[in-house]
Amino acid sequence: MRKKTLSRKKINPSTPIFTGIKYSDDLKMQLFIYNKNEYVENSKFYEKDFNGFTDETKQYWLNTHAIHDTEQITKICKKAKIHDLVIQDILDVNQRPKFQEYEDYWFFSIKSLLPSETIEIEGEQLSFVLGKNFLISFQEKKADHFEHVRHRIRENLGILRERGTDYLLFLLLESILDNYFKTIENIEDKVENFALIDINEDPSPALLNTIENYKRQLHSLKKTILPIRDFVSKVEREKFNLIQQKHIKYFFELKDICLTLLDNCDKIEARLESNINLFFSIQGHRMNQVMKTLTVVSTIFIPLTFLAGIYGMNFKNMPELSWKWGYYSFWIIIVIVFIIMLSYFKRKKWF
């Protein structure tokens, strides 16, 4: 299906446009309100129930699924005082991942992957709006990326409920990068399981198509990982009010994960490139073998054709024409020349 692109020539600039696929799922929102001692979960949260993130002693996490409902997304964002440009970036799911800092919040978008057994990678865009005590996450479609995080909040496991929403953002990004690991591992397993190419067999061109498909997927993965690396590098270099100093080390960990993912992509790409070189080397070797065989056959028949041409001339004074054993002698000479040349080529290891 062809992707819908965002036209900037909008008749009504206050009406955002969703550029993705409209799935059958209805928009759903879940709100978590928590601190160290308590939490409240509303799994059926509606826009009309939203009154802002007013209690500064608590952390808020509002998660939405199926963002194709532009009207509801716009209303919830307006109530949260999110800029119109951010609203459009949330709904434009075909754009490059990006990070933008505003006065009271951050906007950050990322591509999330769903591990698949096929060559084609299924993914979606996730967007985050991070404030002082709130985090709003927008998922293009329903997927269980963060169920383990919800479980930690419910059961008060680890330090999540003791920390701010910047630590929550770290956990969500870490979960998304974990899907990248699974996807890249699937690709690596498939590359390693390529049938060994026998030098005596002609490799199928379908193998080359498969290799190119994997290279295209890896290139796409690297394009989505690089913005994440740039984001965490920015956090490392600069000081932001929304990231507590004690949480900086967690974002350093995200940078290491991104670098590991990029290294794995480069390693697989190098292996695929090696397979491509091997493919063409085998093809060239096969062609050389064919050309060598044809050359040997042609070379053997050149003197034989020369002899046959001479004795095919109809001159009266050719002494061998009237000789009783001339015909048999001609064939003996032909066979001798053939054997001599064949032995010579064999000794030279031309075939």
**pTM for this prediction:** 0.76
Q: What is the pLDDT of residue 23?
A: 67
* pLDDT tens by residue, 163-190: 999 999 999 999 989 888 888 888 888 8
Instruction: Give the domains, in start order, of the chain with CATH numbers.
Output: 28-282 (3.30.460.20), 291-347 (1.20.58.340)
26, amino acid identity: D
Residue with tokens 């053997």: 300
CA 34 and chain centroid, separation: 37
Which residues, 6+ apart, have CB-to-CB distance to 179 below 8 Å?
112, 113, 114, 115, 145
Cβ count near 265 (within 10 Å) = 20
Which residues, 6+ apart, have CB-to-CB distance to 237 below 8 Å?
none
Residue of 239, 62, 75 lying closest to 134 (CA atoms)? 62
Q: What is the pLDDT of residue 230?
A: 86
- Residue 307 near residue 333 (C-beta atoms within 8 A): yes
Q: What is the pLDDT of residue 72?
A: 87
Cβ count near 9 (within 10 Å) = 5
- In the numeric block, which tokens belong to residue 238? 């600069």
- Low-confidence stretches of the chain (pLDDT beneath 70): 1-14, 23-25, 114-120, 194-203, 315-316, 351
DSSP letters, 161-211, are GGS-HHHHHHHHHHHHHHHHHHHHHHHHHHHHTSPPPPTTS---HHHHHHH
270, amino acid identity: A
CA angle 153, 158, 163 (to 5 degrees): 70
Strand partners, 106: 101, 130
Cβ count near 13 (within 10 Å) = 10
- Residue 29 near residue 76 (C-beta atoms within 8 A): yes
* pLDDT tens by residue, 57-116: 899 999 998 888 888 888 888 888 898 889 988 888 888 888 888 888 989 898 887 655
Which residues, 6+ apart, have CB-to-CB distance to 276 below 8 Å?
208, 211
- In the numeric block, which tokens belong to residue 242? 């929304």
